[in-house]
Amino acid sequence: MDLLWQSTTPLAATDVRDELAGDPAITTVLTVLGRLETKGFLTRDRRRRPHLFRATLSRDDYMAELMHEVLGSSPDREAVLARFIGRASKTEADHLRKLLGA
């Protein structure tokens, strides 16, 4: 996933395999890419052969979504995850706003 985040152009499965350490089998790489696509993290261009993969959103976008869930003050979140400090504090809220660029 990091490879596709770093890459400026969409990658084919063979490109991904070549970049990965340990020389994994192409079927393994395709399985993982397919799984990431099912979860919505990757988008696959099926018009081309071989299929090209690119990240649906940037790493920062996902990080912002994650931190929003962690630091958001909605009581709904409380049941999803147990934080060391229960509710979002002012500093965290300020920080979150900075992170989210708002």
Partner 1 sequence: MTAEVVVLGVVAVLLAWPVPVLLARATWAVRMPALAMVCWQAIAVAGGLSMIGALWYISRGAAALLALHLLLNLGLTAVGTVRQRRRHLQLVELLSTPMPDRPGMRLIENEAPVAYCLPGAPRSVTVLSDGLVRLLSEDELAAVVAHERAHVTQHHHIVLIAFKAWRTALPWFPIASRAEDAVALLVELLADDEARQVVSDDVLASAVTAVAGADAVSVAPRVARLRAV
> What 3-state class would DSSP assign to 46?
coil
Nearer to partner 1, 31 or 48 (CB): 31
Stretch that binds partner 1, among 6-14, 24-32, 45-53, 94-102 (CB under 8 A): 94-102
Which residue type, as a one-letter code, is found at position 64?
A
User: What is the β-pairing status of strands 11-12 and 42-45?
Assistant: unpaired
Q: Tell whether residue 100 is a contact of partner 1 (CB under 8 A).
A: no
- Minimum CB–partner distance for residue 47 and partner 1 (Å): 26
Whether the Cβ atoms of residue 34 and residue 51 lie closer than 8 Å to each other: no
- Minimum CB–partner distance for residue 46 and partner 1 (Å): 23
CA distance 36 to 79: 26
Q: Tell whether residue 20 is a contact of partner 1 (CB under 8 A).
A: no
Q: Tell whether residue 81 is a contact of partner 1 (CB under 8 A).
A: yes
Q: CB within 8 A of 12, min separation 6: which ones?
A: 50, 51, 52, 53
List residues binding partner 1 (CB under 8 A): 1, 39, 41, 59, 62-63, 65-67, 69-71, 75-76, 78-87, 89-92, 95-96, 99
